Structure 1
Amino acid sequence: MAALPGFTDNPFRTRSDLVRASAALLKPLEQHKSPQKAFIKLSTGTAAGFDEVSAQLEGFARPLWAIASLLAPASNADSLGLDVDSWVCGLRAGTNPASSEYWGDLGDFDQRMVEMESIAYALLMAPAAFLSGMDAMARENLERWLRRINGRKMPENNWRWFRVLVNLALGSQDEDVVAQDLNMLDSFDLGEGWSSDGLWGNERKQADYYSGSFAIQFARMLYVRCMEDRGLASEDQSRVERYKLEARQFASGFWRYFDVDGSAIPFGRSLTYRFAFAAFWSAVAIAGVQLDAPLNNIGVVKGLLLRHLRWWSKQPGIFNTDGTINIGYTYPNMFLSENYNSPQSVYWCLKSFTVLCLPDSHSFWTAKELPHPLAARLSPAQPLLDEVKLLWPPRHILCSGRSHHFLLSSGQGTTKAHRAREAKYGKMAYSSFFGFSVPSGTLLEQMAPDSTLTVSLDDGDAWIVRANPFNVRDRQISILTSEAAAGMGTVARTVPALVSTWRPKKAIEFEVQTTLIPALELWSGWHFRIHKVRWSPAAIVPGPIRLVDAGFAASGATRTGLLCPERDLERLLDQDAAAVEAWGKDEQRCLILSDGSASGVVNLQRDLMFAPRSGGGRLATESQALLLRADANTNLIMQRTLIPAVQSTLVAEAESKSAAEMWLATGVFAVSKTSCIDVTECQKLWLKRPKIQVTAKPGEEDEIRVMLY
């Protein structure tokens, strides 16, 4: 891996900085162009599930997000160092059926449809630059090739936006097709400005960056910009105004996914698109949508975009040695990729550079960059404060604290065959600092089950990871002082929690109901998981059942490149943070200190103030702390990781004829390197834990309270 001058040394403060960064990203592609310029194939030899022609078309089309944006406000392409003729030549050859570099006729559900979006964007934003070098026949070929999208079957998901934008670029729309597509896209609405990637249902429950910033909300803003540029027809006015309203609603929660240092919480699929996370902020600026507080100053939006790009500029591992971008996250990683990721796919990241279509004089560039809305609250100079926000459409609780920036999740999932789909949608927590892990195999260490629950129904021979929870709902959990618990005071406060149920196997009556509870500054760095395990005698199989409840994966390497050693847990807590890079555990606790961060878990079951069993069934349990050495390259951010966990072993007594029930509780602790919390304070946070009180109410919602002592 190597630094990329122009990007990894870029301050990302001005439009000129972004112009320089885009030039740095585009220049390495020149060496990989085909003779007629219609194809780009990077030197890496990996393949996608679709045909190679489409893969190399990706290489040509996706850079257009930046190129067209650079040309939109510019009158002299030469001053930008862009060889526009090269891209026009490629567009001409790729759409000419007589050319040896013809992109091919369009079929149903064809990858070429995706690449038509960026071509349509180029024609919408800089038509003169791309069409002036074409004669009448070339223009006819281009139009004919694009128009084929109207006669083909498409997935019922974000792809429908590609056809809408193509028709906008063509000028003369197939009105019936566009109307049907827009109505279908609008049916994906989840409320509060969120949209799922397809109709929310049993097959897919996905509301992530893909729908939020890579495709649907992003495309809506392009639609608003283009419709207003062309002059709205009366029948379009209401849709455009609704999209503006929904953008304001979406933005009011979406900014919380970005930490004060610019990093975003990775979640969902297509994470190799990297800084496309922030494409929505570019699109909002392009569309000129006025957002609500705390984003009602364009300088705040500017900061969200530029800080995110700065964070990525500090990740030189995203580049191949020839300067092209690799498949991965902060380093090359095929484990996280999808079947649809060719080496060229990654350049969808350039959607975040569409803001370059705004000229230097635009208020986005002239405005002063403002800090993250929570920057002052989360400053090291302030007391530890945590802000918790439930966003119901994606079923997330965003936890913004100086100690750690993360989210709790329940309710998303998909039956679509995306690689590592359980890891991308089914974990209970996702972190901007610790990232998350994807599996490399079927053994427990290969599954790298950080921040999730893993079950073995056959005493460890095979493991099943949490996915597609059902009966998802939100509730309020009371946090009490000891006086309040004794009836001498009032409830200190409540926090939102997520409740869901999961079955490892549909045919076996073994299920786990999980309540995810964020902590406030009372227990900064913590969140809590309460599991109610139900087990029918019909589900009993030979041998015990094992459950592993894991925390965040932490770096397993020291600053000197050695692996973190084991230390006695008590001695680990007594040492200086600057010197400690080790892990330790005892019977009920496991803690990792590495890279200036901390990650740990504590078994809270013994501290449960009431753990009832129902129906007379008896379920024996034994729990102990566990340290997992995950396979290398399973975590998105850190190449070598250790995962703290609690393993519980459950055995139902053979003579039991009724359902057994058991309550388990885990405290999950994490402090990120960016928190600037020293070891003394970290130790205090680690040692300060609550008690959990559970009261079973047959036929009603069980009462769970977190007790402050």
Structure 2
Amino acid sequence: MPPLPGFSDNPFRTRDDVLLAATSLLSALEPHKSPCGARIKLPTATGTGFDEISAQLEGYARPLWVVADLLSMNSESPSDAQSHAKLDLKSWICGLEAGVDPGSDSYWGELGDCDQRMVEMEPIAYALLTAPEIFFPSEQSKQQRLITWLRSINEHELPPSNWRWFRVLVNLALVRTCGVLYDEVKSIMDLDLALLDSFYLGGGWSSDGLWAKDKKQADYYSGSFAIQYAQLAYVRFAKEIDPERVERYISEARVFSETFWRYFDADGAAIPFGRSLTYRFAFAAFWSAAVTAEVSFDTYLEELGLVKGLILRHLRWWAQKTDIFNSDGTLNIGYTYPNMYMSEDYNSPQSVYWSLKTFSILALPAGHLFWTCEELPHPLATQSLSLVQEDNASPLERIEVVEPAMQIICSRKEHHFLLSAGQFTKKTHKAREAKYSKLAYSSAFAFSVPTGPSLAQSAPDSTLSVSEDDGETWRARWEPLEARIQRMKISFEMNGKGLTEDSPALISAWQPWRSSGLKIETTLVPSLERWPGWHFRIHKVTGSTMQAVQCIDAGFAISSQSRKGGNLPVLSTTWSLNTGSEAEETDELAGEGFWQEEAACLVISDAGASGICDLTDRFKQSLPGRQRTHNRSSKGSILKPDANTNLIAQRTLIPTIQHDFMEMRTRENGEDVNIEEAACFVTGVFAVAASAKLSPEEIRRMWRDKPMFSMERYR
């Protein structure tokens, strides 16, 4: 896809740069506006689970996240107005009047229960709160039509999720801007706010709906996409009517920031996780909302230049992804390229403009400290990676446990990713297993979504897949049970000395089939400084009465393209795991390709390196309980999944280890009897991002240094 001038070539250093990018994004929408401005329909024929009028309302409403601030700037700064003079911003004013007028051909329609129109009311409310003198009409009849349409949200059911914030902000706009008495809407606001506050998990995090048996979600809706962003809007506009809650939300934002910054790599990339990832650079919207609400941070982000860096680096990362645009300059559905496999049932062509929430930072005038201060590097960008035993630095300085989300963020130089154990939803979001229940998610390698039921179509990167019918059907990990965080003492040898390291671990279980007693408990151990590029999984299989089970443990999906654009070569399979061999030395000259053998496989491409290794035999002494390993055969293989399954790379390879358990039941007196012993296998997952700028020789050296340590639970 062609780049978008003003965005794709944007250095994102100054306020003028950000303003130019916003103007470029909005300019692409101009040809697609309805005559009165109330609807925008991009020239893409895909549909949604809701009606077409609502989809075109999305096109009108979602740009308001930045249009409202641009219009407000016009009245305050003639120079700002000149910078986007070619934009017809007044069409959004006319569009609001027409959209709420039942007599207009562009009327947005009456609301029903759980109606998509409710979602689009939030940016309309934001516009009324941000620029009331511009968006609230002067004529009484027009005022009344707007009030009537907005108030109708109070007459209908909303799901018990982040949607309740839409109604809170609509009612806040009715009170602050439209002249509705607070007492008339206070009771419903109080009920909604009480429900929203009940989602709080601690550490600044809220789940999207109650954290319950059928739904455990704490993703970007907890922060930038919805809840934290809305709370910070409430901080800006509800100080007078609800000062106590405003202070609490400020405190929650500060605590949230202490872990949320770790989801962004030093190069600006965020770790994709959860749903609605087509909202792209809205990942950084929390930071914009916090700065515009004048919320200051402590600890790692005390200086405003650090927050500035998080926002601008993220925008610069997206500026490099030119395939996010259609040929007319509008945004497409997808992540780094057009992709309907990862889209949601509620993604219309216009939905993607939720991404403009990050541009609300333009509400700050040119003289604000945010724009005048120096952009500072990522908090971990200059940190030393020296081993803890040598310099007494914290062994967890690049590892952070995010307990509310049941995740561990790993921010090593080699690779920025998270481990996840406790999230899932029974709501039928497309690819829900992939979006919430994989074992790892990466800012460099993202994750993959399925296109169909076969193994290659399921694209099972960074997860465990199980089959009970000799590979005819597969179940990917989902609905984790008994998720918890555990401290581990890791013991290993280095240079002839016995060393120990403290590490967190995530433990959870999973039952692939309710009709079977099969249960798999997985312990996830993050990367250790002793073995850069590696993290670890210990799987314990118990309770099955089946004759045979196959398990596939998979690493990160990685681009299968060579630096010249062709396919990666298949290189020697006769190389040693631990020492260089003549065949491997020959392969060194290639610098890229993929290798596979009995218990390991590795891919090196333009995206970095991704590998996996069966480490069970190296960990036998530290595995708990009586272990049955005689009935297990294991094989490393490179899986070629369907094209366009990965969010970042269109063509990928996935390194995997397949374990075949040949006897998963026993018989006594002619009857099947459950096996009480556990069958364990241990996996080492290896990954190095291209951004680490390591040579193939360095990567190969790290790969050959296979981990071996013992592990003991405590605390």
TM-score (norm 2): 0.92
| Whole-angstrom distance in 2 between the partners of 1:521 and 1:325 | 40
Deviation at 1:615, TM superposition (A): 8.1
1:495 aligns with 503
Cα 1:692–1:704 change in 2 (3 A) is farther
Question: 2:264 matched to 1:258?
Answer: yes
Q: Match for 2:560: what amino acid?
A: G
Superposed, 1:400-439 pairs within 5 Å as 400-439=411-450
1:641 aligns with 652
Deviation at 1:647, TM superposition (A): 0.3
2:111 aligns with 106
- Given that 1:692 and 1:704 are in contact with CA atoms closer than 8 Å, whether structure 2 keeps it comes out as no
| Whole-angstrom distance in 1 between the partners of 2:494 and 2:294 | 53
Within the candidate set 562, 565, 568, 1:558 is matched to 562
1:191-217 superposed Cα distances (whole Å, 9 cap, x missing partner): 010000000001210001122110000
SS of 1:370's equivalent in the other structure is: coil
Q: Match for 1:520: what amino acid?
A: L
Superposed, 1:507-518 pairs within 5 Å as 507-518=515-526
Question: 2:372 matched to 1:361?
Answer: no
Deviation at 1:388, TM superposition (A): 0.9
Deviation at 1:445, TM superposition (A): 0.6
Q: Which runs of 5+ in 1 are unaligned?
A: 695-702
SS of 2:238's equivalent in the other structure is: helix
| Whole-angstrom distance in 2 between the partners of 1:44 and 1:348 | 17
Q: Match for 2:487: what amino acid?
A: Q
Cα 1:691–1:454 change in 2 (3 A) is same
- Given that 2:282 and 2:355 are in contact with CA atoms closer than 8 Å, whether structure 1 keeps it comes out as yes
- Given that 1:583 and 1:591 are in contact with CA atoms closer than 8 Å, whether structure 2 keeps it comes out as yes
Within the candidate set 576, 585, 597, 2:608 is matched to 597
Superposed, 1:171-570 pairs within 5 Å as 171=175, 172=180, 173=182, 174-228=185-239, 232-233=240-241, 236-377=242-383, 387-482=398-493, 492-537=500-545, 540-541=546-547, 544-569=548-573, 570=575
1:166 aligns with 170
Q: Give the aligned length.
A: 683
Q: Match for 2:465: what amino acid?
A: T
| Whole-angstrom distance in 2 between the partners of 1:7 and 1:617 | 57
| Whole-angstrom distance in 2 between the partners of 1:677 and 1:189 | 41
| Whole-angstrom distance in 1 between the partners of 2:399 and 2:325 | 35
Q: Match for 1:155: what amino acid?
A: P
| Whole-angstrom distance in 2 between the partners of 1:610 and 1:586 | 24
Within the candidate set 698, 703, 712, 1:686 is matched to 703
Cα 1:573–1:212 change in 2 (3 A) is farther
Deviation at 1:683, TM superposition (A): 1.6
Question: 2:24 matched to 1:20?
Answer: no
- Given that 2:559 and 2:607 are in contact with CA atoms closer than 8 Å, whether structure 1 keeps it comes out as no
Deviation at 1:459, TM superposition (A): 1.3
| Whole-angstrom distance in 2 between the partners of 1:442 and 1:317 | 28
Question: 2:667 matched to 1:655?
Answer: yes
1:552-586 superposed Cα distances (whole Å, 9 cap, x missing partner): 00111112221112111437853687842210111
Cα 1:573–1:55 change in 2 (3 A) is farther
1:666 aligns with 683
- Given that 2:554 and 2:654 are in contact with CA atoms closer than 8 Å, whether structure 1 keeps it comes out as yes
Within the candidate set 116, 120, 144, 1:140 is matched to 144
Question: 2:101 matched to 1:89?
Answer: no
Deviation at 1:55, TM superposition (A): 0.3
Cα 1:396–1:365 change in 2 (3 A) is same
1:588-611 superposed Cα distances (whole Å, 9 cap, x missing partner): 110001005110000011212337
Cα 1:402–1:618 change in 2 (3 A) is closer
TM-score (norm 1): 0.93
- Given that 2:490 and 2:709 are in contact with CA atoms closer than 8 Å, whether structure 1 keeps it comes out as no
Cα 1:576–1:674 change in 2 (3 A) is farther
Deviation at 1:626, TM superposition (A): 1.4
| Whole-angstrom distance in 1 between the partners of 2:613 and 2:413 | 21
Cα 1:556–1:193 change in 2 (3 A) is same
1:505-549 superposed Cα distances (whole Å, 9 cap, x missing partner): 122100100000012220010000000000333xx25xx210000
CA RMSD of aligned residues (A): 2.3
Cα 1:181–1:691 change in 2 (3 A) is same
| Whole-angstrom distance in 2 between the partners of 1:130 and 1:527 | 53
2:55 aligns with 55
| Whole-angstrom distance in 2 between the partners of 1:266 and 1:568 | 34
| Whole-angstrom distance in 2 between the partners of 1:612 and 1:177 | 55
Deviates more, 1:33-42 or 1:569-578: 569-578
| Whole-angstrom distance in 1 between the partners of 2:299 and 2:111 | 45
SS of 1:523's equivalent in the other structure is: coil
| Whole-angstrom distance in 2 between the partners of 1:573 and 1:264 | 35
Deviation at 1:481, TM superposition (A): 3.0
Q: Match for 1:413: what amino acid?
A: F
- Given that 2:490 and 2:710 are in contact with CA atoms closer than 8 Å, whether structure 1 keeps it comes out as no
SS of 1:482's equivalent in the other structure is: strand
Cα 1:129–1:578 change in 2 (3 A) is farther
Cα 1:184–1:572 change in 2 (3 A) is farther
- Given that 2:73 and 2:81 are in contact with CA atoms closer than 8 Å, whether structure 1 keeps it comes out as no
1:309-331 superposed Cα distances (whole Å, 9 cap, x missing partner): 00000000000000000000000
Deviation at 1:658, TM superposition (A): 4.0
Q: Percent identity?
A: 52
| Whole-angstrom distance in 2 between the partners of 1:265 and 1:275 | 12
- Given that 1:576 and 1:679 are in contact with CA atoms closer than 8 Å, whether structure 2 keeps it comes out as no
Cα 1:402–1:95 change in 2 (3 A) is same
Cα 1:518–1:573 change in 2 (3 A) is farther
1:422-458 superposed Cα distances (whole Å, 9 cap, x missing partner): 0000000111001100000100011000000000011
Deviation at 1:156, TM superposition (A): 0.4
Cα 1:596–1:166 change in 2 (3 A) is closer
1:699 aligns with none
- Given that 2:628 and 2:680 are in contact with CA atoms closer than 8 Å, whether structure 1 keeps it comes out as no
Q: Which runs of 5+ in 2 are unaligned?
A: 576-581
| Whole-angstrom distance in 2 between the partners of 1:127 and 1:41 | 26
1:35-74 superposed Cα distances (whole Å, 9 cap, x missing partner): 2211111101101100110000000000011101222333
Q: Match for 1:265: what amino acid?
A: I
Q: Match for 2:256: what amino acid?
A: F
SS of 2:383's equivalent in the other structure is: coil
Cα 1:378–1:334 change in 2 (3 A) is farther
Deviation at 1:4, TM superposition (A): 0.2
SS of 2:687's equivalent in the other structure is: strand
SS of 1:559's equivalent in the other structure is: coil
Deviation at 1:387, TM superposition (A): 1.3
